[in-house]
Structure 1
Amino acid sequence: MATIRGIHHVTAICDTAGQNIAFYADLLGLRLVKRTVNFDDPDSYHLYYGDEIGRPGTLVTFFAWPDAPQGRLGSGQVESIAFAVPSDSLGYWADRLERRGIDAEELERFDDRLLRFHGPDALRLELVAADAEDGPDPWSEGPVDSEDAIRGLYGVTLGVEGYERTTDLLETMGYDPVGEERDRFRYETNGDAGSIIDVRCRPDLRCGRIGVGSVHHVAFRTEDGASQKEWREALTERGLDVTPVLDRTYFESIYFREPGDVLFEIATDGPGFTVDEPEASLGEELQLPEWLEPRRAEIERDLPMIFYR
């Protein structure tokens, strides 16, 4: 079976696109690598942030749904998204967040030092001190100096009612158990970014509700369409309901709900974000897939203006 190479991206839901860009691009220093629409709901933006070219393992994306209700954190959800930063940069980040009026709590977990805080719409985020040489290089032209900049995704925390079937699936996907602290079980794969999955057993929580400030899904990496097909067959044989392969222009995707009810995706590494605009101007203009281009005038008319800064 082809190897799952860590997390490809994490997709969450935000309120307004402008506030989202101001936080993730201007404050956290990620590059806005694609400004497009939700292919299943083209009246709303889909924003992608990552490193210089949006490499898998660096990506966090957002559906901008200003009319959606606030999400409710509970079981069957991604509880938090963690980014990797250089091991000596937590002081820099604590000061940077404080200057923006954001309270950050420093703590330790599995011998990791990290800052925990909330982004816009109350989305739970973490910055984890990691070795500077690990993971992709940061975007060199961003607002944060390279020695302190985010190195990509570190991992996610899943909150589920019972953890055994979820962790069994993770082991099938190539994740190994590497630690346990109270209700938290850590799994790791050999990817170079986004290799950590923490599973929390949360039978005390009611079911979560998807909405603004919640994570919609977490996507895992596979090399190409052939390996993705292998995974689709293997997951179907496990009794999971898996979508057909969907063309997302920048990658191909399959989706399924893991046993704890978190929505998972397996996405191909390519073709990447330079298929429809040059690297130098990534994220500057609205990009639409070929099948939506005939509707461009209508879509641009209905999309809200983006205001930020």
Structure 2
Amino acid sequence: MSIKTSGLHHVTAIGGDPQRNADFYLRTLGLRLVKTTVNFDDPGTYHLYYGDQSGKPGTLMTFFPWRDAPSGRRGTGQATTTSFSVPERSIGWWQQRLTEAGVSAGRIAGRDGEDVLTFHDPDGLQLALVAHPQGDPRDPWDNGHVPAEHAIRGLHSVTLSVAEEDATAEMFRELGLSFTTSEGNRLRFSAGEGGPGAIVDILVTPGAPRGLVAAGTVHHVAWRAPDEPTQAAWRAELVDRGVSVTSILDRQYFRSIYFREPGGTLLEVATDQPGFSVDEPLLELGRALKLPPWLEPDREQIEHALPVLRLPAENNPERV
């Protein structure tokens, strides 16, 4: 295979109330809202992108938030934990911060030489903060809510729950990831040189129920492609291997293809370009509702249907 992804691009989940979602990810976790748009396939709901200052690939957590969405169920065939990377000495600080914010966080656990703190967002989405002993060189988003020395650096990893490991493991090898370690029923694969932002854990749970994608669950996991020609070549290679892959779709800020790994989780390959400053300046990211050209004629109707979203001033500082 010529496919060699360099790591995670983003994780997209289903949320409930959009204001509650924004308050948690902006204020409690200290991320930046880098794009306020809509679900291009269902423009009656927002698509909110959270990340670092500019929304670089590998820092992004995105949501389709529906106020009345039913609760989902974690299980096999899903990404069941999304993990963020934090500095090694910050796990205790985060445990205290989450507790003070009324978030029930578990005990700090050791796994694969890393400290892990697991918790849930307001809709029940399972998250974790992970401190990698070799650190994470990515710059944090410094927004005033979370001191830069403790701030999230980006995605660390995702955990996929499967009933059977072999076919899923083979799929990730086809995407250019390498097996690195195992611990009990957990297998770790890494892209490129590995480390935060380039890891997927496969959790093998044969007796677990099948997951149900709705509020509080992950919709899909996206992996990075450097550019459109590379993505097109990868798509052709996957098709040649019998994988059912969508056509290349224009997501305005990247191009996407989608397919399912054999265990059932929906995967995406997304391009690094053109990025989130293609339709608004870096200083103003996330401030206004942005629509793709084909939805602009329906802007008035779309805006009327969406609930009002109030953002903290820190999301758009006067300095960059």
The question of a shared fold, defined as TM-score above 0.5 by the shorter chain, is answered with yes
Secondary structure of the residue that 2:245 maps to in structure 1?
Answer: coil
Structure 1 CA distance, aligned partners of 2:6 and 2:236?
A: 18
In structure 2, the residue matched to 1:10 is 11
- Tell which deviates more after alignment, 97-106 or 249-258: 97-106
Secondary structure of the residue that 2:80 maps to in structure 1?
Answer: strand
Asked if the contact 1:87/1:131 (under 8 Å) is kept, the reply is yes
Which segments of 5 or more consecutive residues in structure 1 lack a partner in the other structure?
A: none
| Structure 1 residue 142, shift from structure 2 partner | 4.4
1:222 aligns with 2:231: no
In structure 2, the residue matched to 1:199 is 202
Tell me the matched-pair count: 309
Structure 2 CA distance, aligned partners of 1:139 and 1:115?
A: 20
Identity of aligned residues (%): 49
Secondary structure of the residue that 1:274 maps to in structure 2?
Answer: helix
CA distance 1:272–1:192, shift in 2 (3 Å): farther
Asked if the contact 1:30/1:142 (under 8 Å) is kept, the reply is no
1:155 aligns with 2:157: yes
In structure 1, the residue matched to 2:317 is none
1:35 aligns with 2:36: yes
The one of 250, 253, 258 equivalent to 2:253 is: 250
TM-score after normalising by structure 1: 0.97
In structure 2, the residue matched to 1:44 is 45
Q: Quick one: which amino acid aligns to residue 289 of structure 1?
A: P
Asked if the contact 1:250/1:273 (under 8 Å) is kept, the reply is yes
Asked if the contact 1:136/1:193 (under 8 Å) is kept, the reply is no
Structure 2 CA distance, aligned partners of 1:135 and 1:210?
A: 33
Q: Quick one: which amino acid aligns to residue 278 of structure 1?
A: P
Asked if the contact 2:79/2:218 (under 8 Å) is kept, the reply is yes
In structure 2, the residue matched to 1:273 is 276
Q: Quick one: which amino acid aligns to residue 16 of structure 2?
A: D
CA distance 1:197–1:126, shift in 2 (3 Å): same
Secondary structure of the residue that 2:89 maps to in structure 1?
Answer: coil
> 1:1-309 maps to which residues of 2 (within 5 A)?
1-105=2-106, 106-131=108-133, 134-190=136-192, 193-306=196-309
- Tell which deviates more after alignment, 113-122 or 187-196: 187-196
Structure 2 CA distance, aligned partners of 1:107 and 1:133?
A: 17
TM-score after normalising by structure 2: 0.94
Asked if the contact 2:4/2:191 (under 8 Å) is kept, the reply is no
| Structure 1 residue 131, shift from structure 2 partner | 5.0
| Structure 1 residue 307, shift from structure 2 partner | 5.3
Asked if the contact 1:157/1:198 (under 8 Å) is kept, the reply is yes
For residues 13-55 of structure 1, the C-alpha deviation after alignment (integer angstroms, 9 at most, x for no partner) is 0001100111101110000000100000001000000000000
Secondary structure of the residue that 2:123 maps to in structure 1?
Answer: helix
- Tell which deviates more after alignment, 17-26 or 60-69: 60-69
Q: Quick one: which amino acid aligns to residue 149 of structure 1?
A: A
